[in-house]
Amino acid sequence: MSVISYALKRNPLIASLTDTRDLEMVLNSDCNIIILIQSDICSLKEMVDRIRETDKLIFVHLDLTKGLKRDASGVKFLSEFVGVDGIITTHTNLIQVAKQYDLLTIQRVFILDTASIKQGIKSINSSKPDAVEILPGVVIPHIKSYLKSVADQTIIAAGLINSKEEIGNILQNGAQGVSSSSLKLIGR
């Protein structure tokens, strides 16, 4: 069982932190994984150090971090100088780079139509990330049959999830985790 799967078994909710003012609430939540979204390179190390005081896994959304280039040097910086556990990205090549630095990887895939599902599966099978984040997460019940094609990866749903009922439905239909920035959904 992967580290991500183990953390999600304990609690399937992932805190996607978009506002640094919510850090204390997220740190006190039962979530075992925190994704830093829209963070800033100037405050990133301080935030990671603060989270590191807990036993939560720390991921940085590489594509949305202000001031950080989406390249091998950006991945190296996150690994060696910031000290994150992993990255999340839409870029297949960065998944491979992150693996060279022993980082956990989550590949973000947007589902727009059947063609994007097929392209996403092809990309996932090529890069072999530790987990896949599917957006919008509410489509999970509708694409359940396609998820069998990526059975080796942990499936995380994110985006447009607005209720505990939707979370339950998503988890019953193939996702192992749900990522949300809604304090209402991830709170205690």
Report which of 126, 181, 172 is spatially closest to residue 153, judged by C-alpha positions.
Answer: 126
pLDDT for residue 186: 86
Rounded mean pLDDT of 155-161? 97
Backbone angles phi, psi at 56, to 5 degrees: -85, 145
Q: Where are the domains of the chain?
A: 3-186
In angstroms, rounded to a whole number, what is the distance separating the alpha carbons of residues 35 and 57?
8
pTM, two decimal places: 0.96
Residue 188 has pLDDT above 70, yes or no: no
Backbone angles phi, psi at 161, to 5 degrees: -100, 120
State pLDDT tens for residues 98-154. Answer: 999 999 999 999 999 999 999 999 999 999 999 999 999 999 999 999 888 887 899
Residue 67 has pLDDT above 90, yes or no: yes
Q: State the architecture of 3-186 in CATH terms.
A: Alpha-Beta Barrel (3.20)
User: Is residue 136 within 8 Å of 117, Cβ to Cβ?
Assistant: no
Mean predicted lDDT score pLDDT of the chain: 95
Residue 77 has pLDDT above 90, yes or no: yes
Residue 1 has pLDDT above 80, yes or no: no
Q: Which regions of 28-143 does DSSP assign to beta strands (E)?
A: 33-36, 57-61, 86-89, 104-110, 131-135
- Structural element, H or E, at residue 177: strand 177-180
